[in-house]
Amino acid sequence: MQRMTGKTPPRNPRNPKRMQKKVNVKTRDRRTVSSARWLERQLNDPYVAEAKELGYHSRAAFKLLQMNEELKLFRAGQKIIDLGAAPGGWTQVVCEIVKPGVNGGKVVAIDYLDLKPVSEAIFIKMDFMDNEAPQKLKDAIGGKAHVIMSDMAPPTTGHRETDHIRIMGLAEAAYEFAREVLLPGGTFLCKVFQGGAERDLLNLLKKDFAKVKHVKPPASRADSSEMYVVALGFRG
Ligand X SMILES: C[S@@+](CC[C@H](N)C(=O)[O-])C[C@H]1O[C@@H](n2cnc3c(N)ncnc32)[C@H](O)[C@@H]1O
Catalytic residues, which ones?
A: 191
Instruction: Give the separation between CA 35 and CA 15, rounded to whole angstroms.
Output: 26
| Dihedral sign for Cα atoms in the order 181, 113, 92, 175 | negative
Q: Name the residue nearer to ligand X (CB basis): 170 or 181.
A: 170
In sequence order, the β-bridge partners of residue 106 are 79
Pair 4, 216: CB distance under 8 Å: yes
Query: Does 58 contact ligand X by CB under 6 A?
Result: yes
Query: Does 57 contact ligand X by CB under 6 A?
Result: yes
Q: Name the residue nearer to ligand X (CB basis): 112 or 233.
A: 112
Instruction: Give the separation between CA 1 and CA 98, rounded to whole angstroms.
Output: 28
Query: Does 90 contact ligand X by CB under 6 A?
Result: yes
Q: How many residues bind ligand X, per CB under 6 A?
A: 23
User: Among 14, 15, 98, 111, which residue interacts with ligand X (rule: CB under 6 A)?
Assistant: 111
Query: Does 220 contact ligand X by CB under 6 A?
Result: no
User: Among 55, 113, 131, 158, which residue interacts with ligand X (rule: CB under 6 A)?
Assistant: 113
**Residue number closest to ligand X, CB atom:** 84
Q: Name the residue nearer to ligand X (CB basis): 219 or 232.
A: 219
Q: Name the residue nearer to ligand X (CB basis): 118 or 212.
A: 118
User: Among 14, 79, 88, 107, which residue interacts with ligand X (rule: CB under 6 A)?
Assistant: 88
Query: Does 1 contact ligand X by CB under 6 A?
Result: no
Query: Does 137 contact ligand X by CB under 6 A?
Result: no
Q: Name the residue nearer to ligand X (CB basis): 84 or 217.
A: 84
Q: Which residues bind ligand X (CB under 6 A)?
A: 57-58, 60-61, 84-90, 110-113, 127-129, 151-154, 170
